[in-house]
C-alpha cells in the first residue's frame, strides 16, 4: 500500500506542475506576464533503525528511510524582465526594473449598494484614456476599466484629452502641464499576493502598498513589456513532467499487479 500512496501523491503534484506549465505556455503572448515555477517538498519520512547488525561498509546513516512521496511546496513567480515591445502608443507604458503599476477597481457592494474600492498590482502597461462614469472626467484605465493611480493611490484624471507625455520618473504631462505622478510600487514578496486573473494581483487590506520604487525603476512610454516565458524552456519542462507522470502511473500499475499476485498466492 505504501507504494500506491507514494505514487498517488506524486501524481497529484505532477498534475499541478503540468497545469502550471500549461498556464505559462498559454500566456506566452500576454503583456507583462510573469511565469511561475513549481517547487516540490518531501512528505513525512519514517526511519526503521532496529537492524540485526551494523554494516561497517555503509557510509549513509543507519536505518532504513521510508518516504511518503512529495507535494507541491510552493509556486514562485519569476520576476525577470521581459523583452521590450515598441508600440509608439502614448498610453502604453513599461516598467524598466522592479515594481508594479497599481490600479484601482471600483465595484458596488451587493448588500449596501455603495461603491467600494480595491487595489491591484499589474505589470501590464497597456492603458487607455476613457471617460470615467464615477468621476465624470477622463482617466487612464486598463482595458477592463481599472483606474491607474498616482503615487498617493488616487486615480489619474484629466479634464480634457491633450498631448500626453510621461517622463521616465512617472510625471504625467497633459499639453505640457503636469497633472500627476504615476506610482511604481515595489513588493518584497510577490508570492504573498493573490493572483485574481487579468494579469493582476489583489492587494490584501492588511498589507497596503507603500514602497515607492523609482530608485530601482523607470517608466518607458510607447512600449510594453512582453511575457518572460521562454517557449523552449517550458516545452523541455513539459516533456520531463510527462515522463514523470508516466513513470508514476506505471508504478501504480506494477504495485497493483504485485498485490494481485500476492492475493492469488494466499487463496491457494
- Same domain, yes or no, for 122 and 236? no
- Same domain, yes or no, for 251 and 200? no
Question: Are the beta carbons of 136 and 152 closer than 8 angstroms?
Answer: no
Give the span between the Cα atoms of 100 and 219, in whole angstroms: 11
Give the span between the Cα atoms of 77 and 184, in whole angstroms: 18
- Same domain, yes or no, for 193 and 211? yes
Residue 128 vs residues 131, 178, 193: alpha-carbon distances, Å: 10, 18, 25
- Same domain, yes or no, for 166 and 111? yes
- Same domain, yes or no, for 147 and 239? no
- Same domain, yes or no, for 219 and 149? yes
- Same domain, yes or no, for 88 and 219? yes
At residue 7, the pLDDT reads: 83
At residue 167, the pLDDT reads: 94
By residue range, what is the domain housing residue 23? 2-53+61-79+229-266
* Ordered mean pLDDT values, 10 residues apiece, the chain (268 residues): 79 90 92 88 67 58 67 83 93 92 84 77 93 91 91 90 92 93 82 80 71 78 94 93 90 86 71
At residue 96, the pLDDT reads: 92
- Same domain, yes or no, for 162 and 217? yes
- Same domain, yes or no, for 47 and 117? no
- Name the 3-class secondary structure at 73: strand
DSSP 113-178: --EEEEEEEE---B-EEEE-TTTSSEEEE-TTSPEEBBTTS-B-EESS---EEE-TT-EEEETTEE
Specify the number of domains making up the chain: 2
- Same domain, yes or no, for 220 and 115? yes
At residue 109, the pLDDT reads: 73
At residue 98, the pLDDT reads: 86
Q: What is the pTM of this model?
A: 0.77
* CB contact set of 60 (below 8 Å; sequence gap of 6+): none
- Same domain, yes or no, for 67 and 96? no
At residue 268, the pLDDT reads: 54
- Same domain, yes or no, for 73 and 107? no
- Name the 3-class secondary structure at 185: strand
Amino acid at each position: 500500500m505504501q507504494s500506491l500512496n507514494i505514487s498517488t501523491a506524486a501524481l497529484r503534484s505532477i498534475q499541478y506542475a503540468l497545469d502550471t506549465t500549461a498556464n505559462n505556455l498559454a500566456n506566452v503572448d500576454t503583456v507583462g506576464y510573469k511565469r511561475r515555477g513549481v517547487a516540490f517538498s518531501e512528505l513525512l519520512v519514517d526511519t526503521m533503525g532496529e537492524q540485526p547488525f551494523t554494516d561497517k561498509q555503509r557510509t549513509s546513516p543507519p536505518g532504513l528511510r521510508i518516504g511518503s512521496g512529495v507535494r507541491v511546496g510552493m509556486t514562485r513567480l519569476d520576476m525577470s524582465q521581459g523583452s521590450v515591445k515598441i508600440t509608439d502608443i502614448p498610453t502604453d507604458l513599461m516598467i524598466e526594473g522592479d515594481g508594479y503599476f497599481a490600479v484601482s477597481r471600483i465595484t458596488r457592494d451587493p448588500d449596501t449598494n455603495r461603491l467600494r474600492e480595491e487595489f491591484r498590482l499589474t505589470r501590464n502597461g497597456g492603458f487607455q484614456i476613457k471617460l470615467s462614469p464615477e468621476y465624470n472626467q477622463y482617466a487612464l484605465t486598463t482595458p477592463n476599466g481599472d483606474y491607474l493611480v498616482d503615487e498617493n493611490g488616487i486615480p489619474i484624471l484629466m479634464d480634457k484629452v491633450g498631448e500626453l507625455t510621461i517622463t521616465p520618473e512617472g510625471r504625467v504631462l497633459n499639453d505640457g502641464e503636469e497633472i500627476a505622478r504615476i506610482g511604481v510600487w515595489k513588493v518584497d514578496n510577490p508570492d504573498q499576493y493573490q493572483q485574481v486573473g487579468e494579469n493582476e494581483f489583489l492587494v490584501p487590506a492588511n498589507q497596503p502598498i507603500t514602497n515607492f520604487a523609482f530608485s530601482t525603476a523607470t517608466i518607458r512610454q510607447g512600449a510594453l513589456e512582453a511575457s518572460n516565458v521562454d517557449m523552449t524552456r517550458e516545452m523541455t519542462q513539459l516533456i520531463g513532467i510527462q515522463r514523470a507522470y508516466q513513470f508514476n502511473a506505471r508504478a501504480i500499475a506494477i504495485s497493483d499487479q504485485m498485490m494481485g499476485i500476492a492475493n492469488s498466492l494466499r487463496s491457494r
